[in-house]
Amino acid sequence: MPLRPPAGFISANYDPLKNPDAPTGVSASAGDASASVSFTAPTNVGGSAITAYYAVSNPGRITSSGASSPVTVTGLSNGTSYTFQVWALNSFGPGPFSAASGSVTPVAAPRGLFGGGNTSGNTIDYITIGTTGNATDFGDLVSALQYLGSCSSSTRGLFGGGSDVSFNRVNTIDYVTISTTGNATSFGQLATATNYTAACSSSTRGVWGGGDDSGGDSNVIQYVTIATTGNGTDFGDLTVKRYNLSACASTTRGIFGGGYSGVSRLNVIDYITIASTGNATDFGDLTVARNSLASCSSSTRGLFGGGQSPNTNVIDYITIASVGNATDFGDLTLARYDLAACSSTTRGVFGGGYNPATFNVIDYVTIDTTGDATDFGDLTVGRYGLAGCSNSHGGL
């Protein structure tokens, strides 16, 4: 700890015998590029009242001040571990530094992306999942796409497969850096060109399953390493060939639910272990057989919302670690299909979809609490056949 006052706080009144003691009990909690630093004020304030407290980061010596605990330090780098020390100032000068807090790591606020769709099909919107409000323009996909699949790590979002403006199946994968608005960049190609596909991910691996390829309904599962651009690799097969399905994940397990096969809507739920290639295993059944639904998850619970059975507002949930049939969760605010979903670890968000009334609706639910969805806001462009991902979902 420094034994002399910080530079810039020595005045004509400086008297080390009348400086305040160091604050005690310093702790910190991380925010988005910030930290809240709490402490206990010293009993001995010195020769005059304390006028301010200063919290200092290590590394970086980034400093913020306040009149009392806590002090919020801004300008930190997300993903970097910091400790903090606090010192007090009175009219006679600065006191000594406190002992350091424990380390904390700031992280970006949970952000959800909605990309592609049947109109303005290269549009990417973003929302801050923990708040409500209308979506904001993020940038554009490399090409206009619809009926694609999306997955993500905590830093990177991927959009792959789908149909182009002429409704040709594509195998392209685009990526974006979720915390930084801007246009997408080419990532690579899926092993098979397919639309009406679904995707999920862990923190390292993105997985696409099912869809409609040149041979019709597909059971193909393929994967990429999210941090490394490149082409998809064969993972295994779903239990049933199908398209217009949806997917979500925990940190270890990927779940694929619903879909359309031949002339039948399905209630099938499959699971895979994301880190281990191989064929999917039967998980259980949805409460309602349907296609064109959307999925999202916390680390423990997966949700399946909306879809065509025909047009429905049903939300189901499963406990991802335990095989079994889905349970009724509640209802979306509006029955619709070809919608998309994303999530934080606590909140699920469903956006867009086909309904004659509107295509721009965004709903949200609290994943651990069953109940009906609540209005969140609107997409920048109403559309269906879009895909969603986030930097804070059950797979991370």
Q: What is the pLDDT of residues 10-28, one digit of tens each?
A: 667 778 889 999 999 999 9
Domains of the chain: 16-94 (2.60.40.10), 111-390 (2.120.10.80)
Residues 57-103 pLDDT 10s: 999 999 999 999 999 999 999 889 999 999 999 999 899 999 999 99
Reduced 3-state DSSP string for the chain:
CCCCCCCCCCCCCCCHHHCCCCCEEEEEEECCCEEEEEEECCCCCCCCCCCEEEEEEECCCCEEEECCCCEEEECCCCCCCEEEEEEEEECCEECCCCCCCCCECCCCCCEEEEECCCCCCCEEEEEECCCCCCCEEEEECCCCCECCEEEECCCEEEEECCECCCCCECCEEEEEECCCCCCCEEEEECCCCCECCEEEECCCEEEEECCEECCEECCEEEEEECCCCCCCEEEEECCCCCECCEEEECCCEEEEECCEECCEECCEEEEEECCCCCCCEEEEECCCCCECCEEEECCCEEEEECCECCECCEEEEEECCCCCCCEEEEECCCCCECCEEEECCCEEEEECCECCCCCCEEEEEECCCCCCCEEEEECCCCCCCCEEEECCCCCC
pTM: 0.85
Cα 265 to Cα 378: distance, rounded to the nearest angstrom: 29
Mean pLDDT in residue range 351-373: 95
For 266-302, the pLDDT digits (tens) are 999 999 999 999 999 999 999 999 999 999 999 999 9
Whole-number percent of the chain with pLDDT over 90: 90
> What is the average pLDDT value for the chain, to the nearest integer?
95
